[in-house]
Amino acid sequence: MDDQRREVMRFASVFGLMASVGLIAPAKAEAWSRAAFAEKSLDAVFRVLGASGAETSSALTFTAPEIAENGAVVPVVVSSSSSAEQIAILVEKNPNPLAAQFFFTARTESFVAARIKMAETSRVYALVKAEGIWTMAVKEIKVTLGGCGG
């Protein structure tokens, strides 16, 4: 027990030292989070993002068509009246729900427009993280022609 603890302490000090001299870079949000994009369920993506408790908010505006004739190109616009640090777009019924995420700085407006693919009619989630708190807006988008497969 004591040995184990000593071992842990030793590792901790070595890592601490490496971090302090810059050998280990602090986790950066900008590094592509492969794991989040590989998740296959909505719940899992929410968990990976740390957004499991997200509630709908009127501060958030999510614009997307109700009917998308072509699932290969579905325009989405997300904006927020609070100062967003991160925005994520999730398509519940896509093979991998997380479609895209965006990181903002203090100089960037809480606004983004992009185009996503949808495999089939699905609920689409716009998630906004502001001051460390996730909020969301949900929209059902009907797809007449799927955008994946084919």
Partner 1 sequence: MRIRAQENKGRVDVKILIRHDMESGLRKSQNGNLVPAWYIHTLKVEAQGTEVFNAQFGPAVSRDPFVNFRYQGAKGDKLIVTWMDTQNDSRRDEVIVS
Residues in contact with partner 1 by CB under 8 A are: 29-30, 32-34, 37, 72-74, 91, 94-96, 98-105, 107-109, 111-118, 147-150
How far apart (Å, rounded) are the C-alpha atoms in residues 126 and 114?
Answer: 12
The minimum distance between CB 147 and partner 1, in angstroms, equals 8
- Smallest CA-to-CA distance from 90 within 58, 67, 62 is with 62
The minimum distance between CB 24 and partner 1, in angstroms, equals 21
Q: Given the complex with partner 1, which of 132 and 149 has the nearer CB atom?
A: 149
- Smallest CA-to-CA distance from 103 within 19, 32, 12, 18 is with 32
The minimum distance between CB 7 and partner 1, in angstroms, equals 37
Q: In degrees to the nearest 10, what's the CA dihedral of 29, 32, 33, 37?
A: 130
